[in-house]
Amino acid sequence: MSDPIKGSYILMESLLREGVDTIFGYPGGSIIPVFDALYDYMDKFNYLLMRHEQGAVHAAEGYARVSGKPGVCIVTSGPGATNTITGIGDAMMDSTPIIVITGQVGTASLGTDAFQEIDMVGITQPITKWACQIRSADEVADAVAKAFYISTTGRPGPVVLDFTKNAQNELAKFHHERCTYYRSYIPAPHVCPEQIKEAARLINEAQKPLAIVGQGVVLGNAENELLQFLEKADIPAASTLLGLSAMPTDFRLNKGFVGMHGNIAPNMKTNECDVLIAIGMRFDDRVTGNPNTYAQQAKIIHVDIDPAEIDKNVKTTAKVLGDAKETLAALTQAINPARHEAWIQSFEPYEQKEQETVIEKELHHEGERITMSEIVRNVSDATQREAVLVTDVGQNQMASARYFQYKHTRSIVTSGGLGTMGFGIPAAIGAKVGAPERIVCLFVGDGGFQMTIEELGTIMQSNIGVKMILLNNNYLGMVRQWQELFFHKRYSSTAMANPDFNLIANAYHIANRRVSNRSEMDEAIQDMLKDDQAYLLVVDVEENGLIYPMIPAGETVTNILTPKV
């Protein structure tokens, strides 16, 4: 384009050049010029009007997590901008690539406390990979190019572009050039042969190796490399919460997931293995419990793209820095073929214990009320493990993580590091837009559902075919569980008087049903899945249900609570 165009139009053209096809947003005064430009690009972008700016960010996260492409949202200044903070923090904690574009007052008004002025760059610098204020139209194209480069390369994460109103309206010539370098920013360390050699030596010498697989494998598109690595060395593996779909559920070396509500066998074996290989995970406290008692007997190899994670929480014996796709391929080439049959068989007693004491009781419950676990497994089975799981936060999240099953990667969307209640509905919207060909099943509690219930309006207006399974126990269930187990059953502020969720769904013209009896469950699931329209299935689950196993916060990973006989 040779003629100068407005900064707002430069933004649209830049987004197109970066491959953006979807935008989530909410307009307002300081961003009107951008939305005015967007009006002329409605045939080029799939734009979704969300009902709250936090929802716009979570939707961008959901889109990014299933599509592998960065999510984009556009909001106004002031409260519109500050409403994005929770979502930005969530994306930072979970390494999700999103671009958040916020309106801002004109540069002449900066620092005057003008109407809806807020220092968005100052607020978001600690929770973004990069935050930049655009003050003139000729800065727009370069800022967008840098934003996408920084957000999507290396360890992904959120970027904020604070777009002043004068820059939106000014004229400048448009020239777009993809960013491939940014001074002082090194996306991924070069793979070091000496690090590979040392890690391979430890793996070759191991008699009882265990791998823990994090989301870094998925973010690095290294799922095939992971399976080849595990198969060659015959290493049993478990996943973190966000890494769950990196391996198919039925992969022979997949031993479930680790952490507070993870499976007994891999948690116990963490403190029995002789070499622990952590791949694309950050040793979160929900995984390690008390770090002073975590895998003290093991030599720990940490494979990660981010040097800041090495030795941050757990002291490692050897490190392998670099992109997972490269490092896993190099490790596979360097290690010797091995078999660890006796070690793998030693998981079976723990697996049998969990099957008998927890799983059978949850999936074949004799009580009057349906359990969260059985509805999750039944929905998973009904979709032939083909669906994308989206969760909110709480008991619904942990039951879903434990009992949903996967065939494909990028099949779990959940708030891990920040644990954001209200994440579920908007993230499910984004996930369905990002993978329209797949069934998207949201499991959400009655508490989290009501935090972003307004996004039912987005589902209605944009015809988003998400399947919402509301696990209704009339409590803030996870807080109630902690109160029961650790606070002498003092149920302070956790009982909930809930509305008629089905009537609310009717108001939004969303098909719905309520199930209270187990005999109705299978028919209701089939009714929900019969087409690709939005559906709300309200399931009355047991009010006092507990999610087991459970490792109390700060305890050793082997101090696992199971149901009392």
| Residues acting as catalytic residues | 53, 115-116, 165, 478
β-pair partners for 159: 99, 130
Label the pairing between strands 171-172 and 5-6: antiparallel
CA-CA distance, 453 to 55, in Å (whole number)?
10
Quote the distance between the C-alpha of residue 48 and its chain's center: 20
- Write the Ramachandran bin of 560: left for phi over 0, alpha for psi from -120 to 50, otherwise beta: beta
186 sits in which H/E element: none
Contacts of 437 (CB under 8 A, 6+ apart): none
Contact (Cβ atoms closer than 8 angstroms) between residue 245 and residue 410: yes
In whole angstroms, give the CA distance from residue 354 to residue 179.
51
Locate 155 and state its tokens: 């360890």
Residues 6+ apart with CB under 8 A from 294: 270, 271, 283, 288, 314, 556, 557
Q: What are the CA-CA distances from residue 407 to residues 76, 213, 369, 389, 533 (Å)?
A: 40, 16, 30, 12, 23
Distance, CA of 147 to chain centre? 21
Ranges of H-type helices in 68-192: 79-82, 85-93, 120-124, 140-152, 165-169
Please tell me the distance from the alpha carbon of residue 346 to that of residue 50, in angstroms, as a whole number.
50
Separation of alpha carbons 292 and 274, rounded Å: 17
Nearest to 278 by CA among 301, 257, 259, 258: 301
- From the list 179, 125, 184, the residue with the least C-alpha distance to 152 is 179
Determine the number of helices (DSSP H) and then strands (DSSP E) in the chain.
25, 20
Q: Cα–Cα distance between 101 and 81 in angstroms, integer? A: 9
Structure tokens at 520: 């109705």
Contacts of 190 (CB under 8 A, 6+ apart): 322
Q: Which residues contact 474 (CB under 8 A, 6 or more apart)?
A: 446, 495, 496, 497, 498, 543
